[in-house]
Amino acid sequence: MKLDRVIAKHRSLGRNEAHRLIAAGRVQVDAVVTMGNQVEVDRFQQVQLDDEVVQAAERALYLMLHKPAGVVSATVDAEHRTVVDLIDDPDKALLHIAGRLDRWSTGLVLLTNDGRWSKRLMEAGAKVPKHYVVGTAQPIPAEAVAAFAEGFYFAKEGITTLPAELEILAESQARVMLHEGRHHQIKRMFGRCGCEVISLHRQSIGALALPENLQPGQWRALSEMEKVAALTPACPPPSGHAAG
């Protein structure tokens, strides 16, 4: 919401009166005097008029988790343990998942209560790359590299997948880079190439790689730098942490 609206709403004032208070230097956003009426303020920022708190800052949560196999990427589930069950935080009920993994997939999962950040992460147009290491039951055919780059038509969604990079690491192991996350996307793409996926591990999102020392089931808060790193487009694959 724009700063003038926050002030006007709180005091039931007209916009002009709110502008006058802001221009007089009486309004602070996160303890800094702010003179711009049109400054965008989100719910994680504190707004003050003189000594009065007009809007208290909500606690923003940005977490990474090393998802183990068998846990579902959901906030609640009647049958299975969820990624949120693994987190020990008083505000965990507010979390949502920024990019799910299938139940038997492992690796990096991000959780947050900031919808604007997660939207930026997941928008295909934002070109945030996600790297996965995939194991298959059958040898991966060389032609799969071109097929992944070209894209596959998914009749269910009526879309063609965005160009994806496939790097064959061994007869039945490959690294995949995607810019989107359709339902069971990697399994379906390999299925079109005659390969059943038997293991799938997400190594990184943007320039944020799953840390070597974060064991399956462990989680921690992201640093400010890591929050930005996750949004970085066009990154090379990470080194290390190839398997879950």
> Which residue in 40, 68, 12 sits closest to 215, CA to CA?
68
- CA distances to 14, 25, 131, 138, 143 from 20, rounded to whole Å, are 10, 9, 51, 70, 66
- For residue 142, the 8-state DSSP code is T
Minimum CB distance to ligand URA, residue 204 (Å): 13
Alpha helices of 87-212 — where are they, by DSSP H?
Answer: 115-122, 144-150, 185-192
**Residues 104 to 133 in contact with ligand URA, rule: CB under 6 A:** 105
Minimum CB distance to ligand URA, residue 132 (Å): 6
Does 192 engage in binding with ligand URA (CB under 6 A)? Answer: no
Strand partners, 221: 63
> DSSP for 24-68?
TT-EEETTEE---TT-B--TTS-EEETTEEEEPPPPP-EEEEEEP
Does 203 engage in binding with ligand URA (CB under 6 A)? Answer: no
Please identify which residue in 187, 216, 232, 238 interacts with ligand URA, judged by CB under 6 A. Answer: 187
Does 91 qualify as catalytic in the annotation? no
Q: For ligand URA, how many residues bind (rule: CB under 6 A)?
A: 8
Does 26 engage in binding with ligand URA (CB under 6 A)? Answer: no
Does 184 engage in binding with ligand URA (CB under 6 A)? Answer: yes
Please identify which residue in 55, 185, 199, 203 interacts with ligand URA, judged by CB under 6 A. Answer: 185
- Catalytic residues, which ones? 102
Please give the residue ranges that form the binding site for ligand URA (CB under 6 A).
101-102, 105, 184-187, 200
